[in-house]
Structure 1
Amino acid sequence: MAQSITIARPYAEAAFELARESNDLAGWAQGLTLAAAVVGNEQVDLVLRSPRVSDEDKAALIIEICGDDLNPTLANMIRLLVDRDRILQLPEMARQFDDLRATHERTLDAQLVTAQPIDDAVRDRLAKALSTRLDRTVRLASEIDETLIGGAIVRAGDLIIDGSVRGRLTRLTGALSR
């Protein structure tokens, strides 16, 4: 896993710079996400790992499946990744590209986990408060976890705010055992 991250990093950074220079971060993100999904497909993966298939055919397969969603520069990058035997790193590269884009655009995806559904007004207030605290635009997605007794857990990047009843009880138990 660490090797995959290390290998993908320079390609993700190069893709990000190309996207930024062409002022098309959204287009590149969409193309990379699609190409990464194609590479992650089980049947395509078998073709990409086959020594019987030429590099040209491997690249052509990915580019053809993606169609018009790949700009010419991204299609060339796909060819380069295949040629350098790095195409299987494309899903990690796309993830790192998304991280670079989020940092550049000062956005953050956060997850709100609650025991029961909450209304949109509460979720919007929480997203606004997180945006203020983290100095970024926070996009908050909700998830229901019926195993929570009550309260909520917010995960935003490396930040975890555990306001669940279970979390409070765990902290209380730890404090009492000291």
Structure 2
Amino acid sequence: MNRVAKRYSKAIFELALEKDLLDKIEQDFVFLENLLTESEEMPQYLANPLITENKKIEMLAGVVGKKVSEVTFNFLQLLASKRRLRILPAILENFRLMMLEHRNIVEGELISAVELEEKQVNAIKQHLENMLGKNVQLSTKIKPDILGGFVVRVQDVVIDNSIRLQLSKLREKLMAR
């Protein structure tokens, strides 16, 4: 991720921590992230070098206005004055990751051939939490091409318990004979 975006993310995170505003800034950033993903024009407008920073701030004031805290709006103004609004999406994502780390949470992906029951997902999640010593947020994805079983990815850990992998290993053993 962009080093400049990381520096800005760290700065706003530390300020929010110091002023006991982490939850509010996080809410503001989720709002901004939703605004950027729901609008095709907004990211293009903010990244457009032909539009002055003052115009960008005016637009943000109109769109965001009182919906975010003063600290967040001042941060947006700082980004505009430094011509850094184009990296706002990267800053928001990095801040989100910092919040997860602060809360001792890791994200993971659980891939299965069919939809798993909640009980099964919770058992896998519990196993991962015990293994990693952190809380795990799992997103689920269905990929029929793994045939059965599941694949879990959390940080640098990949647990492949898929039928596809088992069949592949069996084929390799048979071919080696």
Superposed structure 1 runs of 4+ greater than 6 Å apart: none
Which whole-Å deviations, capped at 9, do the CAs of 1:39-94 have from their partners, x for residues lacking one?
45331234334455331220232243234331101101101111111111111111
Aligned to 1:139: 137
Does structure 1 retain, via aligned residues, the 8 Å contact 2:150–2:161? Answer: yes
Higher mean displacement: 37-46 or 26-35: 37-46
Aligned to 2:41: 43
Shift of 1:14: 0.5
Number of aligned pairs? 174
TM-score (norm 2): 0.85
Structure 2 unaligned residues grouped into runs of 5+: none
Corresponding residue to 1:87 among 55, 80, 85: 85
Identity of aligned residues (%): 24
Residue 12 in 1 paired to residue 12 in 2?
no
Q: Superposition pairs for residues 119-138 of structure 1, below 5 Å?
A: 119-138=117-136
Does structure 1 retain, via aligned residues, the 8 Å contact 2:108–2:136? Answer: yes
Shift of 1:174: 6.0
Higher mean displacement: 141-150 or 168-177: 168-177
**Residue type of the partner of 1:131?**
E
Whole-angstrom distance in 2 between the partners of 1:149 and 1:162: 12
**Residue type of the partner of 1:165?**
I
Shift of 1:37: 4.2
Q: Superposition pairs for residues 29-108 of structure 1, below 5 Å?
A: 29-39=26-36, 41-108=39-106
Shift of 1:122: 1.3
Residue 130 and residue 48 in structure 1: after superposition, are their counterparts in 2 closer, same or farther (change >3 A)?
A: same
Structure 1 unaligned residues grouped into runs of 5+: none
TM-score (norm 1): 0.85
SS at match of 2:90: helix
Q: Report the aligned-residue RMSD.
A: 2.2
Aligned to 1:27: 24
